[in-house]
Amino acid sequence: MAAKLFIFYMLYFCIPSVYGMKQAPCVFFFGDSLFDNGNNNFLLTFANVNYPPYGIDYPAGPTGRFSNGKNLPDFLAEFLGFDNPIPPFATATGANILNGVNYASGGAGILDQSGAALGNVMSLNKQLINHGNTAFKMGLLLGNATRATDHLNKCLYLSNMGNNDYLSNYLMPKFYASSTLFTPQQFAEILINQYRRQLEILYKYGARKVVVFGLGSIAYIPQFRSTNESVDSINRITQQFYNKLAPLVHDLNTDLHAAQFIFINVTNFQLGDPSTTGIKVRDVPCCVVSKLTGLCDHGKTPCTNRNEYYFWDNYHPTETVYHAVATRSYAAASPDDAYPTDIRNLVRPH
């Protein structure tokens, strides 16, 4: 038993740390609040967390990360050998963009209208436009567009989208008509077709190694527990889209020359026993949340045993969970964690 626990500890907390060298010349993040590290600070939106207690465990304090400390991009950048976090698009300047940019925006979705009820957010389409601007600037920095394309071909791209197309669209009938206009299957088809086009645009910008994250377990977030929404009903709705992601990755790898897309099965991580990572509380948030937004109330004191909580606020996990998800995304613990491979093998020289 002790040997098994030691192996598990090594898998979750030690394996990535042995990689000290950069495994990709640059990394680009596209996504929502699970990836956002400061872009929404400059937007007029309810999805803004640049205030305490957010960042209570982050060295720089509140930064716009939807976490008590580090988030997924922070840990993934570390595992990939980067000394510093990848900067948000809002503040990335000069030669720093050659290491990569984080375009993620809390509340953003695959569809432009998703998250609009929260205010101004940068949808995936807007993030792709921003990436086009970055690619152009890289051409100026490197001397010409050919050198920029060569650089971009070698980079790693990670996309975490789709959560808000449900949280801030289909499952919000008070603000959106999508659930009355489309069946869950029809809506999932709309999403996957749009997502396919967007990932193909990313490919045209030079992306060759792309990581596609699946949805989190939306039905289990405290926000829905507090509103008595049916877990089974929500799971049936979101599963329609989730089930299409691995086939999408397969199709893109087949249809696009030299493309290497992988799918990260986030749900597979969340179905396991959370106590193995020290989590004891998974049904209520650590911080005092606002009844209006489900985010932490400004300045309120959160729980002290944050490493024992799964959720930080009504939507987002704690730093402990971000670390566990990043670890298994980077180095799969199960064949079901990633398809057709994990991030570690994707960036490994062949």
Output the furthest CA–CA distance in the chain (Å, rounded): 58
Average pLDDT (130-143) is 96
Residue at 247: amino acid letter: P
Rounded distance, CA 92 to CA 331, Å? 29
Residue at 37: amino acid letter: N
Residue at 185: amino acid letter: Q
pLDDT at 271 over 70: no
Counting beta carbons within 10 angstroms of the beta carbon of residue 171, is it exposed (0 to 12), middle (13 to 18) or buried (19 or more)?
buried
Sorted by sequence, the CB contacts under 8 Å of residue 242 that are 6+ apart come out as: 214, 215, 267
pLDDT band per the 50, 70, 90 thresholds, residue 216: confident
Nearest to 167 by CA among 122, 125, 102, 116: 116
If one counts every other C-beta atom within 10 angstroms of the C-beta of residue 298, the result is 12
More confident residue, 10 or 159: 159
Q: Could you identify the residue written with the tokens 């509103």?
A: 227
Q: What is the pLDDT of residue 228?
A: 56
Q: What is the pLDDT of residue 273?
A: 67
Residue 175 near residue 118 (C-beta atoms within 8 A): no
Rounded distance, CA 312 to CA 282, Å? 10
| pLDDT tens figures, 145-187 | 999 999 999 999 999 999 999 999 999 999 999 999 999 999 9
Nearest to 215 by CA among 170, 160, 262, 263: 160
pLDDT band per the 50, 70, 90 thresholds, residue 224: confident
Average pLDDT (215-231) is 80
Q: What is the pLDDT of residue 15?
A: 44
User: In sequence order, what are the beta bridge partners of 340?
Assistant: none
| pLDDT tens figures, 285-307 | 999 999 999 999 999 999 999 99
pLDDT band per the 50, 70, 90 thresholds, residue 272: low
In angstroms, how far is CA 272 from the centroid of its own chain?
19
- How many CA atoms does the CB half-sphere of 142 hold within 13 Å? 19
Q: What is the pLDDT of residue 7?
A: 32
pLDDT at 345 over 80: yes
Catalytic positions, written as ranges: 33, 313, 316
Nearest to 78 by CA among 275, 341, 336, 331: 331
Average pLDDT (181-208) is 98
Question: Percent of the chain at pLDDT above 90?
Answer: 85
pLDDT band per the 50, 70, 90 thresholds, residue 229: low
